[in-house]
Amino acid sequence: MDRKAIVAGHFYPKTQESLKKNLEQLIDKTQVTKDALAVIMPHAGYSYSGAIAGKTISQIKVKDTAIILGPNHTGLGMPYSLVNEGTWTTPLGKIKINQELADLLLANSEHIKNDETSHVYEHSIEVELPFLQYLNNAINIVPMIISDFNIKYLQIVGEQIAKAIKTYSQPTLIVASTDMTHYEPHDQAKEKDLKAIDAILELDPKKLHSVVTENKISMCGLAPVTTTLFACKALGATKAELIGYTTSGELSGDYDNVVGYAGIVIK
């Protein structure tokens, strides 16, 4: 697969020069970085969620390899859709898919399938890539879209991801792509989102799944984040830290109909 940028010029600047200037404003290169197992980042347009994404990714060392888990906004493809070869292109250049790690995931899981269909029009992974490239231009990735919400299988796949990372034995970062509550009043959205964030900070994927389901929280990346938490627990995670939270209302002034954005680091 040679995946072209489909939301450049919409979610983020279209040219390399303008994108670099935008990222320079969003990323703090003076920040002391720390090792992390995973990072949870929003994927809206940079004018809305870019500050949270930039602040979050500035906190960590971006490893040479990243498994990026995104939700499915298009409804296309398989429940666990991975692409195991080729490149992804952004205005900053091409990113190679790590075929060795991708093939390990495919070999270790009967649920994960090699399926390009989910990725062709999906923005949730693409929006994260320039942040990673800007901090590590040697990065390679394994992109996976998850659209299953069955907690049993999310746990299985999360643990299979952890097993593949251990077998691969090279430093690997997991990136979970999600926005939080969609299109509700600011105070209501924030109240709901903090319940989900608390579960993430407790490193409790089952609690997150139940809190989001029971409170009808329209967090689009529930599946990727739940899977990430299961993977991180299997990798020995001990701490999660909220780096920032905001809503679109705090940027646009429209507090009646907001989307929430959170940045979290798991160590």
- How high does pLDDT run on average in the chain? 97
User: 3-state class of 84 per DSSP?
Assistant: coil
CA angle 16, 7, 252 (to 5 degrees): 95
Q: Which two tokens stand for residue 224?
A: 């990727």
Rounded CA-CA distance 98/96 in Å is: 6
Instruction: Please report the pLDDT score of residue 64 as a whole number.
Output: 98
| Distance from chain centroid for Cα 75 | 18
Instruction: Please report the pLDDT score of residue 176 as a whole number.
Output: 99
Report pLDDT digits (tens) over 85-98: 999 999 999 999 99
Q: Which two tokens stand for residue 162?
A: 């952890």
Outline where 27-142 has alpha helix (H). 46-57, 99-108, 129-135
Q: Which pLDDT band holds residue 189 (cuts at 50, 70, 90)?
A: very high
Within the chain, strands assigned E span 2-3, 38-41, 65-71, 80-82, 87-90, 93-97, 113-114, 140-146, 172-177, 182-184, 240-247, 258-266
Instruction: Please report the pLDDT score of residue 23 as a whole number.
Output: 98
Q: Which two tokens stand for residue 190?
A: 């924030």
Report pLDDT digits (tens) over 22-46: 999 999 989 999 999 999 999 999 9
Q: Which two tokens stand for residue 214?
A: 């029971």
For the domain made up of 2-266, the CATH class stated in words is alpha beta
Instruction: Please report the pLDDT score of residue 184 as a whole number.
Output: 98
Sketch the domain layout of the chain as residue ranges. 2-266
